[in-house]
Structure 1
Amino acid sequence: MSEGLVVIVRSLIGFFSLLIFARIIGKSQISQLTFFDYVLGITIGSMAASLATDLSSRAWPHWVALITWAALGYVMEKITIKWRYAAKFLEGEPVIVVMSGKIMDDALRKNNYRISELMGLLRNKGIFDVSQVDFAILEPNGQLSVLQKPENLPLTPKDMNIKASSSGISSELIYDGMIVEQNLRQFKKDKKWLQKELQKQGIKDVSEVFFASLNPAGSLYIDLYKDRLQNPVDIGDYKGPY
């Protein structure tokens, strides 16, 4: 019975400590949390749980550790607010992963992202064709912000009393310089057809292509390793003074 009472008291201490720390550290929504914030929250919660249930040790070391981690979290939050370079280092910065319908493969690699993950995020936005995207930006919290090209913005064929047919879902024909023959056969195409289509766009070899897809409507999307973009945009944070 005495142990149960101790657990109740320690749980109350841990609970209200967490409540106070959560109010002090910030009010970011779960969707806005960075990976660092997420790990910090888990660690502090784990310490509060140990404070409540670890009866083999005294409570005050757990509580001191809890206060220390919460205080450090608060200090780091203030630093990232006042010092932009620290925010860039700790929280990351937005990165353009699609520009003018072209996939920025170098940006994907630097952020350890695969094409399949990018395509999944685009589909979550209701976009099944990369060529419709003007800009896609990977935010520090892992979410994808998408700006469609002007002709793909929300003026629908229905608004214009135009009957539109479905373009279907695109399938990969080339992935990281390699031909996906199974998908070619699905569209009743062969390598010769694909080579001709590439040559039409001045592409001599499949190894130049980072990603290519085809939809049932016959629209072929091609993205090269070396994208032919003029005046690429950089939305990264400023580089100084620090």
Structure 2
Amino acid sequence: MMEESIVVFVRAVITFMTLLIYTRILGKQQMGNLSYFDYINGIVIGSIGGTAATDLSSTAWVHWVGLTTFVGLTFTFQYVTLKNRFLSKMIDAEPTVVVQDGKILEHNLSKMKIKYDELTMLLRQKNIFDITQVAYAVMEPTGSLSVLPKAQYQPATPQDLQITVSPAKMMTEVIIDGLLIEQNLQQRKKDREWLKLQLQAQGIGDVKEVAFAAILPNEQLYVDRFEDHIKKESDMSDYKGPF
């Protein structure tokens, strides 16, 4: 038993390092921009890697040959699809318009195997709650939805209004689950006294009452307590079941 454990440990370490190297070779597309092909191929590569680490009924060499073959094929197809547009469309598919001028294109929706409630969910994720405001909604090969609102519903930019604005800044978390992040507070050139005064102004005497707090780009403090005191929570469900 001890000997088998050592073998599994060694094979797991080698497999881990192999996958790490192969992942770096394949690039960030494998993680950040998954097409259907990438998704399925990633599952297969992960499955082979897991088997290589723990399956003692066969030699590790067989699994590593299979793993290397899959990675090699993936790298080859990535290169080929960069050079050949036809093969790129065949493997990764192409964008499909599912909403045009506020109208759902049912045949395209059916072709993409997407239900109406899934479409409305994807629209909400793009902050679109009124489908009539949509000029075009495009289903990308990765499964994400790109939305172009109609011109009258697009937000005006400072450039449109010829307004001078301050440089963009990021939000900085300073309290998470009642714990103060001192380093982040210092990065925004604030101290505990400033934070204490800000919390007191919102009726909070102890950081342990705070679930999340962050310094906003405008230097104001956003605070969310564990107890939100919302009178009535919104319910989007249309099914009054047990779940």
- 1:31–1:141 Cα contact (<8 Å) kept: no
Distance in 2 separating the partners of 1:41 and 1:57: 23
CA distance in 2, matches of 1:146, 1:136: 4
- Count residues with an aligned counterpart: 160
For 2:11 and 2:96, how far apart are their aligned partners in 1?
Answer: 44
Letter in 2 for 1:146: V
- Name the residue aligned to 1:35: 36
Aligned ranges for residues 7-22 of structure 1 at < 5 Å?
7-22=8-23
Structure 1 runs of 4+ off > 4 angstroms?
none
Distance, in Å, in 1 between the alignment partners of 2:80 and 2:31 is 21
Aligned pairs for 1:117-196 (under 5 A) are: 117-155=118-156
Letter in 2 for 1:154: P
- Who is 1:5 aligned against? 6
What is the alpha-carbon distance in structure 2 between the residues aligned to residue 30 and residue 62 of structure 1?
23
- The runs of 5 or more residues in structure 1 that have no matched partner are 160-170, 172-181, 183-242
- Paired AA for residue 135 in structure 1: Y
Deviation digits for residues 92-128 of structure 1 (CA, Å, limit 9, x no counterpart): 1011111111111111111111222111111111111
Which residue number corresponds to residue 72 of structure 1? 73
Aligned equivalents of 1:31, 1:154: Cα separation in 2: 28
Distance 1:27 1:50, change over 3 A: same
Q: 1:200-241 CA deviation, whole Å, 9 max, x = no partner?
A: xxxxxxxxxxxxxxxxxxxxxxxxxxxxxxxxxxxxxxxxxx
SS of corresponding position for 2:137: strand
> How far did 1:84 drift?
0.8
The verdict on how the C-alpha distance between 1:61 and 1:29 changes in structure 2, with shifts beyond 3 A counting, is closer
Report the RMSD for the aligned CA atoms in angstroms: 2.2
Between the aligned partners of 1:109 and 1:55, the Cα distance in structure 2 is 46
Question: Residues 49-99 of structure 1, C-alpha deviation per residue, up to 9 Å, x if partnerless?
Answer: 111111111111111111111111111111111111111011110111111
Tell me the equivalent position of 1:49.
50
Q: Unaligned stretches of 5+ in structure 2?
A: 162-235, 239-243
Residue pair 1:134, 1:147 contacting (<8 A) in 2 also: yes
For residues 40 and 89 of structure 1, the distance between their equivalents in structure 2, rounded to whole angstroms, comes to 15
State the structure with bigger RCO (CA 8 A, min sep 6), 1 or 2. Answer: 1
**1:31 Cα deviation after fit:** 4.5
Alignment correspondent of 1:112: 113
Instruction: Give the CA deviation at 1:152.
Output: 0.7
* Cα distance in 1 for residues equivalent to 2:31 and 2:74: 16
Residue 94 (structure 1) aligned with residue 66 (structure 2): no
Q: Is the 8 A contact 1:94 1:139 kept in 2?
A: yes
Q: Identity over aligned residues, as a percent?
A: 47
Q: Which amino acid aligns with 1:92?
A: A
**Maintained 8 Å contact 1:10/1:52:** yes
For the residue of structure 1 that corresponds to 2:90, the secondary structure is helix
> Aligned-pair distance for 1:30?
3.5
